[in-house]
Amino acid sequence: MAKAPPPSPALAPTPTPAPADPLPSWNEGPHKQAILAFVARVTGATNPEFVPESERIAAFDNDGTLWVEQPVYTQLSFAVDRVRELAPAHPEWNKQEPFKSILAGDLKAALAGGDKAILDLIAATHSGMSTDDFAQTVTQWFSNARHPKFGRPYSELVYQPMLELLSFLRANGFKTFIVSGGGIDFMRPVTTRFYGIPPEQVIGTTPKYRYQNVKGKPEIMREPGITLLDDGDGKPVGIQTHIGRRPLAAFGNSDGDEAMLQWTAAGKGPRLAVLVHHTDGAREVAYDRDSKIGKLDKALDEANAKGWVVVSMKDDWKTIFPATKISVPESAPSAPGAR
């Protein structure tokens, strides 16, 4: 029997150029594929699972999901720096924990006081000023601070693959929100430049505010105490308060994100729940079940049981941090193109 002739060159399909990879810092594999496939499912206009743009809400944890959280939460570094700066006006701090240990440079001893130490530290550095003044202080801090381990500005310690994911989702009609245990006004001054997320799409732990109008100068004062602890079960509460509908996709990295992922995944129709697993001790920090910061234990079990996407930073990410430097705003952010 004669061999079949080779296909005529004229009939061979012209190779169409591959579309540009929207997630170039992600290695090929099941996790990248799961994310791309989910977005295709909900955005394909002829797809039975099509979701209108208005319902395309994506919620992102911040510490450990969008920026580094080890060896110490960024906001805690800020608070420590504030204590040093404010100390001259507070001679009593030399005899009072946690301030005494902080001023002696011993953060570990300062935090030995547990939750009370943290609350005292936050109250002393995050309340008693107007929201405008606090935003100015935070903005200035970010423009000067360097990370204790990496020695780089915080603007360079955001995860490049997550920046690509944020852009990819926005390009597909998603509105991106931060839902973080961090202080809401600590993040807002930088989220536009760091992530393209404007202040009104940032949800975080929220202080008591008090409006005052003294001598015709209206101000919003930050008071001690909080109205929302936006962590754990507080994350779905923050989402309901600020967004008023269930996310289509949610991204976290710790047990503090478990409730948010549950709430998201339990919605009708297609939903995407993703955990970032810190597996890369060489390029970042490897930690999960036994970590004090960003502990990932129960949520990892639930993710495995329910088939949530667990991204391995070591295996799934080509790079961790952006190659190019991000400039930090000196003044109030503007958000061209931010959704």
Min dist. Cβ of residue 132 to its own copies (A): 9
Options 21, 49, 53, 133; binder of its own copies; rule CB under 8 A: 53
What single letter denotes the amino acid at residue 338? A
Helix or strand (DSSP H, E) at 63: none
**CB distance 274 to 296 below 8 Å:** no
| 36 in contact with its own copies (CB under 8 A) | no
Q: Among 172, 171, 176, 182, which Cα is nearest to 206's?
A: 182
- Smallest distance from the beta carbon of 26 to its own copies, in angstroms? 28
Segment near its own copies (CB under 8 A); pick from 13-21, 78-86, 160-168, 195-203 = 195-203
Q: In the bound complex, what is the minimum distance in angstroms from residue 202's beta carbon to its own copies?
A: 7
Q: Does 331 bind its own copies (CB under 8 A)?
A: no
String of contacts with its own copies for each residue 73-112, x by CB under 8 A:
----------------------------------------
User: Binding of its own copies at residue 129 (CB under 8 A)?
Assistant: no
Query: Does 198 contact its own copies by CB under 8 A?
Result: yes
Distances (CA, A) of 337 to 167, 172, 256: 10, 13, 30
Of these, 98, 181, 182, 199, which contacts its own copies (CB under 8 A)? 199
CA distance 273 to 65: 13
Nearer to its own copies, 20 or 214 (CB): 214
* Cα separation, 173 vs 51, whole angstroms: 10
Interface pick for its own copies out of 8, 14, 46, 54 (rule CB under 8 A): 54
The only residue of 6, 15, 17, 336 in contact with its own copies, by rule CB under 8 A: 336
> Which of 22, 41, 55, 136 touches its own copies (CB under 8 A)?
55
Where does 189-235 show beta strands of DSSP type E? 202-214, 217-228
Of 240, 304, 319, 327, which one interacts with its own copies (CB under 8 A)? 240
Which backbone phi and psi does 92 adopt, to 5 degrees? -65, -20
Q: What residue type is 133 in one-letter code?
A: D
In this structure, the chain runs to a length of 339
* Rg of the chain in Å (alpha carbons): 23
Task: Return the residue of 92, 144, 244, 331 that touches its own copies, per CB under 8 A.
Answer: 244
| 298 forms part of the interface with its own copies (CB under 8 A) | no
Residue located via tokens 């008071």: 223
Quote the tokens at residue 267: 């919605």
Report the alpha-carbon distance of residue 191 to residue 117 in Å, rounded: 28
Q: Does 149 engage in binding with its own copies (CB under 8 A)?
A: no
Give the count of residues interacting with its own copies (CB under 8 A): 48
Task: State which residue, 203 or 320, has the beta carbon closest to its own copies.
Answer: 203
DSSP string for 11-31: TSPPPPPPPPPS-TTBPSSHH
DSSP state of 130: B
What one-character DSSP code corresponds to residue 64? T
In angstroms, the CA 339 to CA 336 distance is 9
Select the span of 39-47, 159-167, 226-234, 248-256 touching its own copies (CB under 8 A).
226-234
Q: Can residue 234 be called a binding residue for its own copies (CB under 8 A)?
A: yes
Binding interface with its own copies (CB under 8 A): 52-55, 57, 131, 175, 184-185, 188, 192, 198-202, 206, 209-211, 213, 216-218, 220, 227-228, 233-237, 240-245, 259, 262-263, 266, 332-336, 338
